[in-house]
Amino acid sequence: MNKKIEKMYYSIGEVSELIGVKPHVLRYWETQFPMLKPKKNRAGNRTYKIRDIKYIIAIRNLLYERGYTIAGARKKLKEASNDPTALVEQLNIPFADPEKRRVLLSLKKDLIKLKEMVESL
């Protein structure tokens, strides 16, 4: 039986690696985007749900790919009526699913290592 195992919560380090931004950037975005409010566990560490990660992907896309200002990105997200999935689809962001993104990043790392091995021959 093939069951997809998906994590319920992701740490700030995992999200940082998945999205490609530093943890301090994620913490800053929390102060700038009211809809981005990850819960904290008993130890005080942030725990991101899939919904939070979709918001972060949308924020990253708006700021880095589309050139929005923080104010402009905040406005665009408010227009999305609290549905990050619809915004991700509207912006046509590939690999918005964290598990698929993790596989893609792992594959990318393996290909870079393979390229380095071939070049060193």
Kindly state whether residue 34 falls inside one of the protein's structural domains: yes
Kindly state whether residue 7 falls inside one of the protein's structural domains: no
Alpha helical stretches, state H, 43-121: 50-60, 70-79, 84-91, 98-119
Structural domain range at position 68: 12-119
pLDDT of residue 84: 65
Kindly state whether residue 4 falls inside one of the protein's structural domains: no
Residues of the chain with pLDDT under 70: 1-6, 81-99, 101
Residues 38 and 2: beta-carbon distance below 8 Å: no
Domain count, the chain: 1
pLDDT of residue 2: 41
CATH of the domain at 67: 1.10.1660.10
